[in-house]
């Protein structure tokens, strides 16, 4: 059991969780964890926002049953696996632009802090209406743009997180520049066995959990990933409806 030592609600649908878990302290920039609330809950991949001695913090945006369960109910976690995935390739770039959508701000901040420590110039282009952790972004990035209309910036490296559609669009906007993107896939075991997180990179099957989650975006088959996003839509809708009903019953009893 891993206690959640602090839960900061940022809205009805988003929160920060500070979790006691010694083994995550060694995480590198851009890695993620799998969190499981109860033994019967689905494991959820979440980016590591920050680590401190014996603890780490992550940001949760509620989109379905498992993320809402973490926001609404979790006080302890049955299981915390990680740190997982390959770290972000920091490289020798001078000026970096991070494009983010929704929860993509969390991995972007985590990586940006490491890039800032190397003296890089950092721009943030946040594209979705929900813009959490704005103040922190203002402290870490040299310039912050919040706009739904994508445009190109003069930088050496482009990075993106939070949306496969966004990453796909960036490959056309920046056809001549390196773009490193976090692929967004469903995940189950996160150790390379279930193949749920498979991604086609240069026509070859790769796994987001062990080979990723960061890939050179021009090499990724985004259309395939986007098509598979809705593979479990019906089951996810049903799970969310059932969960909302259970929450209502619980509040009536209280
Ligand atoms: C490497 C990685 C890092 C992530 N980091 C964060 C983070 O820091 N904070 C955060 O809030 N979220 C993060 N996510 C996304 C988060 O894992 C999903 O939102 C979560 O698993 C959804 O579970 P759910 O049961 O709440 O929703 P579900 O019921 O599973 O899904 C609800 C809706 O979201 C879509 N969806 C769910 N998961 C994904 C997915 N991974 N890719 C594309 N569409 C999906 C479904 O198709 C459905 O429309 C990350 C995902 C990955 C792969
Ligand atoms: S989550 Fe199962 S192989 Fe990646």
Based on the fold, state whether residues 99 and 219 are members of the same structural domain: yes
Q: How far is the CA of 172 from the centre of ligand 2 (A)?
A: 28
Based on the fold, state whether residues 56 and 159 are members of the same structural domain: no
Residue with tokens 């409806």, as numbered in its chain: 241
b/e sequence 221-234, b meaning 16+ C-beta within 10 Å: ebeebeebeeeeee
Q: How far is the CA of 27 from the centre of ligand 1 (A)?
A: 21
The number of distinct structural domains making up the chain is 2
For the sheet containing 76-77, what is the strand order? Answer: 50-52, 55-61, 14-20, 2-11, 76-77
pTM, two decimal places: 0.93
Would you say residue 161 lies in a domain? Answer: yes
Based on the fold, state whether residues 162 and 217 are members of the same structural domain: yes
Per the structure, the complete domain to which residue 185 belongs is given by: 95-229
- pLDDT for the residue numbered 254: 65
Would you say residue 237 lies in a domain? Answer: no
- pLDDT for the residue numbered 26: 93
CA distances (Å), origin 103, targets 54, 99, 137: 24, 11, 13
Residues lining ligand 1, CB < 6 A? 32, 42, 44-47, 58-61, 63-67, 103, 106, 182, 184-187, 213, 229-230, 233, 236, 239-240
Based on the fold, state whether residues 75 and 134 are members of the same structural domain: no
Structure letter (DSSP) for residue 23: G
Would you say residue 158 lies in a domain? Answer: yes
- pLDDT for the residue numbered 234: 77
**90-119 pLDDT, tens per residue?**
888 899 999 999 999 999 999 999 999 999
- pLDDT for the residue numbered 133: 98
Structure letter (DSSP) for residue 215: E
CA atoms of 210 and 85, how far apart (whole Å): 5
CA atoms of 90 and 252, how far apart (whole Å): 51
- pLDDT for the residue numbered 250: 77
- pLDDT for the residue numbered 149: 93
Based on the fold, state whether residues 107 and 211 are members of the same structural domain: yes
- pLDDT for the residue numbered 166: 98
Based on the fold, state whether residues 48 and 121 are members of the same structural domain: no
Report the relative pairing of strands 32-36 and 79-84 from DSSP bridges. antiparallel
Q: What does the block give as tokens for 23?
A: 């083994």
Based on the fold, state whether residues 76 and 101 are members of the same structural domain: no
Atom 2 of ligand 2, residue of closest alpha carbon: 194
- pLDDT for the residue numbered 221: 97
| CB within 8 Å of 243: residues ≥ 6 apart | 65, 68, 69
Residues of the chain with pLDDT under 70: 254
Residue with tokens 């704005």, as numbered in its chain: 134
Would you say residue 50 lies in a domain? Answer: yes
């Amino acid at each position: 059991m891993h206690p959640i030592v602090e839960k900061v609600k940022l809205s009805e649908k988003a929160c920060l969780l500070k979790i006691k878990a010694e083994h995550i302290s060694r995480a590198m920039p851009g890695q993620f964890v799998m969190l499981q609330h109860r033994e019967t809950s689905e494991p959820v991949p979440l980016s590591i926002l920050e680590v401190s001695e014996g603890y780490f913090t992550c940001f949760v945006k509620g989109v379905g049953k498992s993320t809402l369960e973490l926001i609404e109910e979790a006080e302890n976690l049955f299981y915390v696996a990680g740190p997982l995935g390959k770290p972000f390739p920091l490289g020798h770039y001078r000026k970096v632009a991070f494009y983010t959508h929704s929860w993509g701000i969390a991995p972007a901040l985590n990586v940006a802090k490491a890039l800032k420590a190397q003296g890089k110039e950092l721009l943030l282009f946040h594209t979705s209406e929900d813009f959490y952790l704005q103040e922190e972004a203002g402290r870490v990035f040299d310039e912050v743009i919040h706009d739904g209309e994508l445009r190109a910036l003069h930088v050496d490296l482009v990075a993106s997180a939070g949306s496969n559609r966004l990453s796909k669009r960036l490959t056309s906007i920046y056809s001549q520049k390196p773009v490193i993107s976090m692929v967004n896939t469903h995940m189950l075991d996160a150790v390379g066995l279930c193949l749920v997180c498979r991604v086609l990179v240069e026509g070859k099957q790769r796994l987001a959990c062990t080979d990723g989650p960061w890939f050179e975006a021009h090499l990724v088959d985004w259309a395939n990933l986007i098509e598979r996003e809705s593979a479990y839509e019906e089951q996810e809708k049903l799970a969310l409806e059932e969960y909302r009903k259970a929450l209502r019953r619980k509040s009536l009893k209280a």
